[in-house]
Amino acid sequence: MALYVKKFGGTSVGSVDRIEAVADQLQAARESGDDVVVVVSAMSGETNRLIDLANQVMDDPDPREMDVLVSTGEQVTIALLSMALLKRGVDARSYTGGQVRITTDSSHTKARIQDIDEHNMRGDLDAGRVVVVAGFQGMDEEGHITTLGRGGSDTTAVALAAALKADECHIYTDVDGVYTTDPRIVDGARRLETITFEEMLEMASLGSKVLQIRSVEFAGKYNVPVRVLSSFREGPGTLITFDDEDDMEKPVVSGIAFNRDEAKLTVVGVADVPGCASRILKPVSDAGIEVDMIVQNVGSDNRTDFTFTVHRNDYRQSLELLENLGRDLDVQAVQGDEHIAKVSIVGVGMRSHAGVASRMFDALSAEGINIQMISTSEIKISVVINEKYLELAVRTLHSAFGLEEAEIREES
């Protein structure tokens, strides 16, 4: 008998019919002898509806009260799903995050899990019940309701799987696994049987939206095998697991990630002296703006150009900060570009194979795609390009690294 934590997202429980279908699936799991803990999101569109209500009442809603409000979406789902299970003769019990005793810090709307008391859940499992838990939420030490941020139900599921030492954590979505890239852009995109935590973490951070990045971090930290599955059709999905150092036939590149939500800023002709990078980035950091890629040119005539990227939503604020700063630093110009995109290749096999970067750059060059910035790590290479070439770049790299083939192996 195995213990599984199963998480169903908003589209998976988006209607009463969908909730009934999930209940059928859980009934079958119990009849096969498995113990099941279920984590659910709010019904599709419900969280946005609640946020819209708050914005109608208050321009800048209080974070504590926002958590009280948006956490009610999941409470509706857990009650309805438990009712559907009870109707089928499956003993079930629902819990909010606070009732399960998911303890978090007090950072409202973006809390982090500190501890989980699994005592009640274990008692229910021993009694043969299906435990239905509201995702995305917890409670701080003072008893205030907190939420974990967008996509937080994934993190809830992985955290519960870690606390209960579950055999696997199943994340049900509207796709049937993790693909080599977005199938909407590349017809030949292929579902991966397995992917390592390292690769999935890079894919999530670089734009892949299959899983929330914090849930992948949590799974890697606590060694929780995670399987991404479809709520709408059966299949093995994709298992996110540990890197097998003995596997000498790893694919060099496992996937292509991309992000359209990037913007680039350049400070032209800043004084090339120690501390210039810090002086440029400090006001940006103080404003709570995250910086991604950074490039500083080799200086000439005691001046240099300094370029970095931010999320496109932060572009206007960042540009204004730099223009104000530029007057104090005596720079020649501040330039910006909102029409860029980031494309990345990811694969643990890149550690042991040379020539991956040159193959990437050659493929893009052959299509006339100019590279504006480059960033690398052990298992990924990212480039910034003009946004209009994004889809062409993804298709080109997908083909160049043979990702559409049934088996991807490095050439001998």
Burial (CB < 10 A; 0-12, 13-18, 19+), residue 318, is buried
Length of the chain: 412
CA nearest to 171, candidates 228, 211, 100: 228
The per-residue pLDDT for 411 is: 39
Angle between helix axes 356-366 and 390-400 (nearest 10 degrees) is 130
209 annotated ligand-binding residue: yes
255 annotated ligand-binding residue: no
Instruction: Determine the average pLDDT of the residues in 250-262.
Output: 88
Say if residue 247's pLDDT is above 90: no
Average pLDDT across the chain, whole number? 90
Q: How many CB atoms lie within 10 A of CB 245?
A: 8
CB-based contacts of 146: which residues, under 8 Å, 6+ apart? 67, 97, 104, 105, 106, 107, 108, 111, 137, 138, 139, 140
Say if residue 249's pLDDT is above 70: no
156 annotated ligand-binding residue: no
CA nearest to 101, candidates 60, 63, 145: 145
Say if residue 230's pLDDT is above 50: yes
Query: Cα 161–166–171 angle (5° rounding)?
Result: 55
CA nearest to 195, candidates 153, 152, 225: 225
Sheet bearing 130-134, strands edge to edge? 92-95, 130-134, 35-40, 3-8, 168-173, 226-230, 238-241, 194-196
Instruction: Determine the average pLDDT of the residues in 59-63.
Output: 92
Identify the CATH number of the domain defined by range 3-174.
3.40.1160.10
The per-residue pLDDT for 256 is: 94
* Contact indicator for 355, 345 with CB cutoff of 8 Å: no
**Of 70-84, 220-234, 266-280, highest mean pLDDT:** 70-84
Burial (CB < 10 A; 0-12, 13-18, 19+), residue 16, is exposed
388 annotated ligand-binding residue: no
Query: Rounded to whole angstroms, how far apart are CA atoms 137 and 41?
Result: 10
Say if residue 128's pLDDT is above 90: yes
395 annotated ligand-binding residue: no
Largest Cα–Cα separation, the chain: 79
pLDDT single digits (tens) 311-357: 999 999 999 999 988 777 788 899 999 999 999 999 988 887 888 99
Query: Rounded to whole angstroms, how far apart are CA atoms 20 and 10?
Result: 14
210 annotated ligand-binding residue: yes
Q: Which residue type does 309 have? A: T
- Cβ burial 251-276 (10 Å sphere, 16+ → b, else e): bbbbbbbbbeebbbbbbbbbebeeeb
6 annotated ligand-binding residue: no
Taking the alpha carbons of 8, 122, 106, 225 in that order, is the dihedral positive or negative? Answer: negative
Query: Rounded to whole angstroms, how far apart are CA atoms 398 and 396?
Result: 6
Say if residue 248's pLDDT is above 60: no
Class of domain 255-400: alpha beta
174 annotated ligand-binding residue: yes
Q: List 37's β-bridge partners, or say none.
A: 5, 131
Query: Rounded to whole angstroms, how far apart are CA atoms 390 and 260?
Result: 8
47 annotated ligand-binding residue: yes
Q: Where do the structural domains in the chain lie, given as residue ranges?
A: 3-174, 255-400
pLDDT single digits (tens) 177-208: 899 998 889 988 999 999 998 899 888 877 67
188 annotated ligand-binding residue: no
110 annotated ligand-binding residue: no
10 annotated ligand-binding residue: yes
Determine the straight-line distance between the first and last CA of the chain, rounded to whole angstroms.
Answer: 44
Q: What is the pTM of this model?
A: 0.83
